[in-house]
Each structure stands twice: as structure tokens, then as C-alpha cells.
Amino acid sequence: MSNAASPEVYSPGLEGVIAGETAISTVTGGLRYRGYPIGELVDHCTFEEVAYLLLHGELPNETQYQEFDHRLRAARALPDVVTQTLGKLPKQANQMDVIRTAISMLAHFDPDTGDQTHDANIRKAERLVAQIPLAVAHFYRHAIGQPIVPSRSDLSLSANFLHMVRGTPPSAEEERAFDISLILYAEHEFNASTFTARVICSTMSDLHSSIVGAVGALKGPLHGGANEKVMDVLRAIGSVDNVASWLKDAFARKERVMGFGHRVYKTGDVRAAIVKKFMAAFAAKTGTQKWEEMAEKIEAIIAQEKNLFPNLDWPSARLYHALKLDVALYTPIFVMSRVTGWSAHVIEQLDNNRLIRPRARYTGPEVRAVKPRAQR
């Protein structure tokens, strides 16, 4: 038997590399959260139920749901120092930078910050699920120069957020549309931000630090920030008549059309199909059919010319536009949802922890001797 060392295997971007195990979700055979197909969760559950599933491992029964919902509503409050700080930040500050700061500040006031036990981490995660939407809404209202809208404990998480951002409670259909988007964004296996969170907590760092790191990873335009670019594309094209010529020019410039392609889903993102189906009816009620018609033609051309298919960012940006939400809110909304998945992964990692420390393939010079300074 040879004693020769195995050759180093390098996969750029860790593509296809199995970097760990998880019982939280899988994209194999279609996205499932803890075994439940994402389509069934969208059809039968609220975001709060899905949040409970991710954090606690099972869908809640009626008593568990009521108790969980009560805890979330009771936690809808920000420390005065946090709200005051949000009101003093520059109005032009990047929303993701602001949310990153808010989460870091919230760690100072959480009674369980220093407790790394499983139960304490769940309590911290539940509070963040309730607090992050408030921080997003508070700074947004400050940034647009409008009064802060108080949180309402009688509304669901989705309805309360839309109420705080827009100033009036949403219709039942608007609430449902937003809830669907939160369910779909909640979890997605070992994506860049989730892996970041797991790497951080694997050092035995705390949950809030892990979530702050995940926010930094999500900010990038190749991850969560992609949804902010979708409406830029649609507005730049302007009308369905301009689609073919605009895309031809974009292809000639080798520009990437954001919202298409996925590292894992090579034949289409199941989440995008769910939102697209919903938008067929929702757009008619919100008067945004123009964007759906353009999107349909864009999808057809890109599929034919590039063999690329929409990911979740493509239709969700149009959904948020139909809800009259500013583009600056799109990625912070992603945070509001994905904090459930991030937290579940942090908890899972810490429950059976091993420091995540990969190797690198060295590409520098071979061994060389240091010469005296006069001879260099």
C-alpha cells in the first residue's frame, strides 16, 4: 500500500464540496425545511409557523403556536438607546449597514447574550425575529423623513412590518403576499451567509456575532443584494417592446442580468416558480402587470440564449414593488426572514461543534532563502 499523500482537491468557490451536515434543510430533490416541501409550507403555514419549525425542529401544535406567537409579540420592542441611535445615523446610510449595527447593539441588552446553551440561543433567536423588523422599519422611516409608526401587538409579524413601513395596515392579500416571501427566504442550506454564521460560531463565538457576520455576507450583490438590482433592470428596459434589444446589447457587453442563475439550481429555482405563480393574480390586483409581461419575455430570451433560469430574487423584487416597498428595503427584508435559518444553523453547529478550519492550496513561490538586505 502506498504511503503517498492524497493529492489536494480544489473546487473554486467550494462548489459541490460537502462542508458539513445539517438536519435543517436540503435542496436535493426540491427545497425542504426539516423534511417539509417548501410548496406545502407556503400553502398551509404562516411565517411564524415556519420560524417555529426552523428554530424548534417541528411544526407547532395550536398551543405551541399561540405561546410562540405571544413571545414574538411581547418581544416587539427596541431599547431606547437603539432607537435613539437609529434616529441619529445619516439618512443616506446603507440599510444593511444599519441593520448590522442594530443587531450588534441588541446583543448588549439581551439577557442571554453570554449564555451559549441550546435553550438560551433559542430565546435570543426568537427575540431577534421580533426585533429586526422593528429596527428595519424605524431606520427606514427616519431615512425618508417620516414619523416613526408604533408597533402593533395585534398584528402578525408581516402585517405589523408593512404597517410600520407604510403607515397603514395592509390588506389581507398584501399580508399574505409578504408572508409568502418571508417563508421562501427563511432558509437555504449552506449558502454564503449561513456558512459564514456557522464558521463564526464554530469558534465558540455568540449567536449575535454570528448573525452580524451573516448580514455582512448577505449584503453582497452576488448573494442577498441581488434582489435590489432586479427592479433596476426592469426600469432600464422600460417596456416589453424594448426587451429584445436591451438584452442583445447587455449580452454584447457581457453584463450579468441579476436574478438569473443559481449555484445549486441549474434548471430553475422552485421558490421563483412559487412566487411567479402567485404574482400572476396579485399583479392584476395591484396594477403591476407591465412588469410581469416584461419578466415573462426576459425569462424566455435568457433561457434560450444563456440557458439560465430565474432565482428567487427575480420575482420577489417584483412582489415587493407591487407592495409599494422601496428597493432599499429588499435586502433588509431578506435579513428579517433569514435570521430564522441563520439562528437554526448556529444552534445546530453549537450543539455538536467542531471548529471549521479548511485548508488552502498554496500557489506562491517554492522554498527560498532570505538574503541579506544588501544583496536583495
CB atoms within 10 A of CB 162: 25
Reply yes or no on whether 313 is catalytic. yes
Pick the catalytic residue: 188, 208, 313, 345? 313
Q: At what angle do helices 226-237 and 289-306 cross, to 10 degrees?
A: 100
CA distance 244 to 304: 12
Identify whether 262 is a catalytic site residue: yes
C-alpha cell at 320: 415587493
Rounded Cα–Cα distance for residues 200 and 214 (Å): 9
Catalytic-role residue among 262, 269, 321, 345: 262
Q: Are 313 and 261 in contact (CB under 8 A)?
A: no
Sign of the CA dihedral with 167 first, then 130, 325, and 90 last: positive
Q: How far is CA 284 from CA 20, 45, 230, 260, 302, in A?
A: 44, 24, 20, 24, 25
Residue 337: which of 38, 67, 28 has the closest Cα? 38
Q: Rounded distance, CA 163 to CA 152, Å?
A: 8
Calculate the alpha carbon distances from 18 to 69, 172, 188, 351, 356 in Å: 35, 42, 15, 19, 13
Cα of first residue to Cα of last residue in the chain, in angstroms, is 46
Catalytic annotation, residues: 262, 313
